[in-house]
Amino acid sequence: MKKILMLITVMLIVFTMAACGNNDDDSGRVRNITLSYADWGNQEVNQALIDAFMVEYPHITVELRRDITGAGGEFTANLINAQAANVLPDVFAIDNVPTGLSNGMILDITEYWDNDPDTAFVYPNIAETAVYNGRRFAVPSFQFIKGIYINLSLFDFYNVPIPPKDWNYDQFVQTATQIRQAGQNDFVYGIDPWFGDLDFEAIWPTQDHVDVGYQTFDGERFHFNTPMWINAYQAKLDLWAQGVVAQHTEAEMAVIGDVWPWLAGYTAMSIDGSWNLWMVDTMFEESGFEVGFWPYPGGAAGQFPPTILDYAVVSSQTEHPEEAYLLAKWMTFGRQGWEVRLDIMEERNILYLDRFPVADYPEIWERASNYVDYVEGVRESVELFEFSKPDVDKWLPGYKAFWEWVESDDNDYWTRIAEGLITPEVFAREWETKLNELISEALSEYLN
């Protein structure tokens, strides 16, 4: 009898060990999967999100890769090196989807996206990006607002009326000119430009025409050789010529010191992105400036917020594409991931969002309401998100190559434009032809 009981006990132990060693759970998913993730964002927040993901999916272990450094283009260049060494992360952010696609580092995730019910909540004008010949190769992660930071204290000091948040670009130009005239003797300019330039031709046509997208893109072609684009480009040249746009001289900088003139209060308005919302608190704490973030000025058709998109992708080297998609979703547009992100913000007393959901989840937006109201003017942009017009910089094939062509020494467009040797009416035709040619050639590579 004892021998029989011992035999039964041994058999039970064997079966138990076999069950524990099984690589499948009740749903048929493979257990003990390991994935890796990399982006250039806040790594502490990334780790907290990953920890929550592993609690939700205990069969998946995720390693946060910190060895791929840099941001933007530098980050993508380091990804290419990782690909060559066959050590790409399973999921990663990328600053240019076509670059990753051309280098064969990105997986087609159409199947997972199309069968995911949450993708129906992604804003339509965002969901249609990074899709080539009906195939999706990237997940839109966040949208950033392009708007106008306004130094309200300068407006008060020079007794210039603060513009309404539903303003138009004519009011923007008039206000900038008025501030420049009032503050000229104090080295105060009207506009701090967008990455050293004004963006009028990229945005103004979108405000005057409901069906016109970023840089006049209609989904297939760009339309530079049109009055809407040419007039907007000429308007920015005129403002530069009139001295309204910040271009402080060496003598002025000697007085201002080694500091960004905008931060020091020598520019009234700055065209910039929501990723720089940190400036609002910094400028108040360091200089006592009250700063708001007004919506981008509208036009004849209304007010359509320009937004800047970021993307994450699944690696072509991953051995677990379905699970990698789950991770990509969690770290980007996913409902659960955003719940965790907001939990993290509450725990860490983070007061504002500098990036925003690309999906219209009512419960997420309800929770995010307080963060939207922290900086005056942000809510007005957020409430217009369904009408936003996203950029094409990171996902449209051929677009990056076009600007490299414009900036090449052979063309020297910037010098010729600055010296007045070529007018918008002329280079609009040249640019439109070349850009559409490059877009067509690049897209044709993805048709097979």
The separation between the first and the last C-alpha atoms of the chain, rounded to the nearest angstrom, is 71
Nearest to 208 by CA among 197, 196, 200, 220: 200
| Cβ neighbours around 426 below 10 Å, total | 13
> Nearest 5°: phi and psi at 409?
-65, -30
Quick: pLDDT tens for 406-433. 999 999 999 999 999 999 999 999 999 9
pLDDT of 448 reads 61
CA dist 432 and 421 (Å) reads 19
Amino acid at 373: D
Quick: pLDDT tens for 246-305. 999 999 999 999 999 999 999 999 999 999 999 999 999 999 999 999 999 999 999 999
Dihedral, CA atoms, 175, 181, 183, 187, nearest 10 degrees?
A: 110
Return mean pLDDT, the chain.
Answer: 93
pLDDT of 28 reads 54
Quick: pLDDT tens for 102-151. 999 999 999 999 999 999 999 999 999 999 999 999 999 999 999 999 99
pLDDT of 23 reads 47
| Cβ neighbours around 436 below 10 Å, total | 18
How many helices and strands, by DSSP H and E, does the chain display?
A: 19, 11
**3-state secondary structure (DSSP) of residue 133:** coil
pLDDT of 447 reads 65
Residue 307 token pair: 């937004």
The domains found in the chain, sorted by start residue, are: 28-144+309-389 (3.40.190.10), 145-306+419-432 (3.40.190.10)
pLDDT of 445 reads 82
Tell me the pLDDT band of 379, cut-offs 50, 70 and 90.
very high
Q: Considering the chain, what percentage of its residues have pLDDT values greater than 90?
A: 90
CA dist 268 and 416 (Å) reads 29
Tell me the pLDDT band of 446, cut-offs 50, 70 and 90.
confident
Would you say residue 25 has pLDDT above 60? no
